[in-house]
Amino acid sequence: MTHEEYEALLDSFLKKLERTVVLKYRHYLGAFVQNMICPLQKKTIGSLNKKVCHISLGALQGACAEMKTDIRFLINRREKLVDRLRLSFGKVAGVVAYRLTKAHVIHLHEGCASCAEPCNAPKLNQIFALRCAWEYICIQYHRVPDDIRRELFYSFSSRHINQETLGLVFDTIHTKHSQTASLPPAS
Protein backbone atom coordinates (compact mmCIF):
# COMPACT_ATOMS: atom_id res chain seq x y z
CA MET A 1 0.00 0.00 0.00
CA THR A 2 1.41 3.37 -0.96
CA HIS A 3 1.52 6.26 1.46
CA GLU A 4 -1.19 8.07 -0.52
CA GLU A 5 -3.48 5.01 -0.43
CA TYR A 6 -2.85 4.67 3.30
CA GLU A 7 -3.71 8.32 3.93
CA ALA A 8 -6.88 8.04 1.82
CA LEU A 9 -7.94 4.93 3.75
CA LEU A 10 -7.25 6.60 7.09
CA ASP A 11 -9.13 9.76 6.06
CA SER A 12 -12.10 7.66 4.94
CA PHE A 13 -12.16 5.79 8.26
CA LEU A 14 -11.97 9.01 10.30
CA LYS A 15 -14.73 10.72 8.28
CA LYS A 16 -16.98 7.67 8.69
CA LEU A 17 -16.29 7.63 12.44
CA GLU A 18 -17.19 11.32 12.73
CA ARG A 19 -20.37 10.93 10.67
CA THR A 20 -21.45 7.95 12.79
CA VAL A 21 -20.85 9.80 16.07
CA VAL A 22 -22.87 12.83 14.94
CA LEU A 23 -25.78 10.62 13.83
CA LYS A 24 -25.70 8.71 17.12
CA TYR A 25 -25.89 11.93 19.14
CA ARG A 26 -28.97 13.05 17.25
CA HIS A 27 -30.56 9.63 17.72
CA TYR A 28 -29.70 9.44 21.43
CA LEU A 29 -31.01 12.91 22.16
CA GLY A 30 -34.31 12.14 20.43
CA ALA A 31 -34.67 8.86 22.33
CA PHE A 32 -33.77 10.56 25.61
CA VAL A 33 -36.37 13.30 25.17
CA GLN A 34 -39.08 10.81 24.28
CA ASN A 35 -38.41 8.24 27.02
CA MET A 36 -37.09 9.96 30.12
CA ILE A 37 -39.56 10.87 32.84
CA CYS A 38 -39.04 14.14 34.68
CA PRO A 39 -39.08 13.27 38.40
CA LEU A 40 -40.43 16.71 39.28
CA GLN A 41 -43.37 16.84 36.87
CA LYS A 42 -43.94 13.07 36.57
CA LYS A 43 -44.23 13.35 32.78
CA THR A 44 -42.01 12.32 29.92
CA ILE A 45 -39.65 15.09 28.99
CA GLY A 46 -40.94 14.95 25.40
CA SER A 47 -44.40 16.00 26.61
CA LEU A 48 -43.29 19.02 28.67
CA ASN A 49 -43.52 21.40 25.69
CA LYS A 50 -40.13 22.89 26.43
CA LYS A 51 -36.60 22.10 25.41
CA VAL A 52 -34.59 20.42 28.10
CA CYS A 53 -31.24 20.19 26.36
CA HIS A 54 -29.51 20.69 23.06
CA ILE A 55 -26.42 19.50 21.22
CA SER A 56 -23.63 22.01 20.79
CA LEU A 57 -22.58 21.26 17.23
CA GLY A 58 -19.41 23.31 17.68
CA ALA A 59 -18.40 21.22 20.70
CA LEU A 60 -19.28 18.01 18.86
CA GLN A 61 -17.24 19.02 15.82
CA GLY A 62 -14.34 20.02 18.08
CA ALA A 63 -14.49 16.66 19.86
CA CYS A 64 -14.54 14.84 16.52
CA ALA A 65 -11.54 16.85 15.31
CA GLU A 66 -9.63 15.95 18.48
CA MET A 67 -10.67 12.29 18.10
CA LYS A 68 -9.31 12.24 14.59
CA THR A 69 -6.05 13.85 15.72
CA ASP A 70 -5.66 11.37 18.60
CA ILE A 71 -6.36 8.34 16.41
CA ARG A 72 -3.98 9.58 13.73
CA PHE A 73 -1.33 10.07 16.43
CA LEU A 74 -1.88 6.56 17.84
CA ILE A 75 -1.56 5.00 14.40
CA ASN A 76 1.56 6.98 13.52
CA ARG A 77 3.18 6.27 16.88
CA ARG A 78 2.57 2.53 16.53
CA GLU A 79 3.41 2.37 12.83
CA LYS A 80 6.66 0.50 13.40
CA LEU A 81 5.11 -1.86 15.96
CA VAL A 82 1.90 -2.94 14.23
CA ASP A 83 0.44 -3.01 10.76
CA ARG A 84 -1.02 0.24 9.56
CA LEU A 85 -4.63 0.91 10.54
CA ARG A 86 -4.50 -1.98 13.01
CA LEU A 87 -5.48 -0.17 16.17
CA SER A 88 -7.58 -2.27 18.48
CA PHE A 89 -11.29 -1.57 18.83
CA GLY A 90 -10.76 -0.70 22.48
CA LYS A 91 -8.13 1.95 21.73
CA VAL A 92 -10.48 3.73 19.33
CA ALA A 93 -13.39 3.38 21.77
CA GLY A 94 -11.19 4.87 24.52
CA VAL A 95 -10.43 7.91 22.38
CA VAL A 96 -14.12 8.29 21.45
CA ALA A 97 -15.30 8.11 25.07
CA TYR A 98 -12.59 10.43 26.38
CA ARG A 99 -12.98 13.17 23.78
CA LEU A 100 -16.78 13.15 23.78
CA THR A 101 -16.96 13.27 27.57
CA LYS A 102 -14.50 16.13 27.88
CA ALA A 103 -16.17 18.21 25.15
CA HIS A 104 -19.47 18.91 26.96
CA VAL A 105 -21.53 18.39 23.84
CA ILE A 106 -24.93 18.26 25.59
CA HIS A 107 -26.12 21.43 27.29
CA LEU A 108 -29.12 21.59 29.60
CA HIS A 109 -31.46 24.55 29.44
CA GLU A 110 -31.88 26.69 32.53
CA GLY A 111 -34.99 25.05 34.03
CA CYS A 112 -33.58 21.54 33.80
CA ALA A 113 -30.06 22.56 34.81
CA SER A 114 -31.26 24.23 38.01
CA CYS A 115 -33.66 21.44 39.02
CA ALA A 116 -32.92 19.87 42.40
CA GLU A 117 -34.62 16.55 41.62
CA PRO A 118 -32.17 13.71 40.92
CA CYS A 119 -32.22 12.41 37.35
CA ASN A 120 -29.86 11.41 34.54
CA ALA A 121 -30.07 14.67 32.60
CA PRO A 122 -26.86 16.17 34.09
CA LYS A 123 -24.98 12.97 33.14
CA LEU A 124 -25.96 13.06 29.47
CA ASN A 125 -22.46 13.93 28.23
CA GLN A 126 -21.05 10.86 29.93
CA ILE A 127 -23.97 8.61 29.01
CA PHE A 128 -23.86 9.51 25.33
CA ALA A 129 -20.05 9.31 25.16
CA LEU A 130 -20.03 5.88 26.76
CA ARG A 131 -22.84 4.69 24.51
CA CYS A 132 -20.83 5.67 21.43
CA ALA A 133 -17.78 3.86 22.78
CA TRP A 134 -19.71 0.72 23.77
CA GLU A 135 -21.40 0.57 20.38
CA TYR A 136 -18.04 0.97 18.67
CA ILE A 137 -16.92 -2.28 20.32
CA CYS A 138 -20.31 -3.85 19.45
CA ILE A 139 -21.72 -4.01 22.97
CA GLN A 140 -25.11 -2.49 23.72
CA TYR A 141 -25.00 0.02 26.55
CA HIS A 142 -27.75 -1.73 28.51
CA ARG A 143 -25.88 -5.05 28.36
CA VAL A 144 -22.94 -3.54 30.26
CA PRO A 145 -23.17 -4.49 33.94
CA ASP A 146 -24.24 -1.63 36.22
CA ASP A 147 -21.09 -1.85 38.33
CA ILE A 148 -18.87 -1.29 35.28
CA ARG A 149 -21.00 1.67 34.16
CA ARG A 150 -20.90 3.17 37.67
CA GLU A 151 -17.13 2.75 37.83
CA LEU A 152 -16.66 4.50 34.49
CA PHE A 153 -18.97 7.35 35.51
CA TYR A 154 -17.04 7.72 38.75
CA SER A 155 -13.72 7.67 36.89
CA PHE A 156 -14.87 10.38 34.49
CA SER A 157 -16.13 12.64 37.26
CA SER A 158 -13.64 12.05 40.06
CA ARG A 159 -10.42 10.56 38.70
CA HIS A 160 -7.76 11.44 36.18
CA ILE A 161 -8.40 9.23 33.19
CA ASN A 162 -7.01 9.37 29.67
CA GLN A 163 -7.55 7.76 26.29
CA GLU A 164 -4.88 5.11 26.83
CA THR A 165 -6.37 3.92 30.11
CA LEU A 166 -9.85 3.87 28.63
CA GLY A 167 -8.48 1.98 25.64
CA LEU A 168 -7.20 -0.74 27.96
CA VAL A 169 -10.56 -0.91 29.74
CA PHE A 170 -12.51 -1.18 26.48
CA ASP A 171 -10.01 -3.71 25.04
CA THR A 172 -10.43 -5.90 28.12
CA ILE A 173 -14.21 -5.71 28.00
CA HIS A 174 -14.28 -6.30 24.24
CA THR A 175 -12.05 -9.36 24.62
CA LYS A 176 -14.10 -10.72 27.51
CA HIS A 177 -17.38 -10.05 25.68
CA SER A 178 -16.08 -11.69 22.48
CA GLN A 179 -15.10 -14.82 24.41
CA THR A 180 -18.46 -15.12 26.17
CA ALA A 181 -20.43 -14.26 23.02
CA SER A 182 -18.76 -17.09 21.09
CA LEU A 183 -19.55 -19.74 23.70
CA PRO A 184 -22.35 -22.15 22.78
CA PRO A 185 -25.61 -21.59 24.65
CA ALA A 186 -26.04 -23.62 27.84
CA SER A 187 -28.33 -26.62 27.48
Q: Which residues of the chain have pLDDT under 70?
A: 33-51, 78-86, 110-111, 113-114, 118, 120, 180-187
Q: What is the pLDDT of residue 43?
A: 59
Nearest to 48 by CA among 63, 37, 58: 37
Bridge partners of 108, per DSSP, are: 53
Q: What is the pLDDT of residue 75?
A: 80
Q: What is the pLDDT of residue 2?
A: 78
Phi-psi region of 184 (alpha: psi -120 to 50; beta: other; left: phi over 0): beta
Alpha-carbon torsion (132, 133, 135, 139), positive or negative: negative
Q: What is the pLDDT of residue 40?
A: 65
Q: What is the pLDDT of residue 15?
A: 92
Q: What is the pLDDT of residue 8?
A: 87
Domain range summary for the chain, segments of one domain joined by +: 3-181
Whole-prediction pTM: 0.80
For residue 149, how many other CB atoms are within 10 A of its CB?
Answer: 16
Q: What is the pLDDT of residue 184?
A: 45
Q: How far apart are the first and last CA of the chain?
A: 48
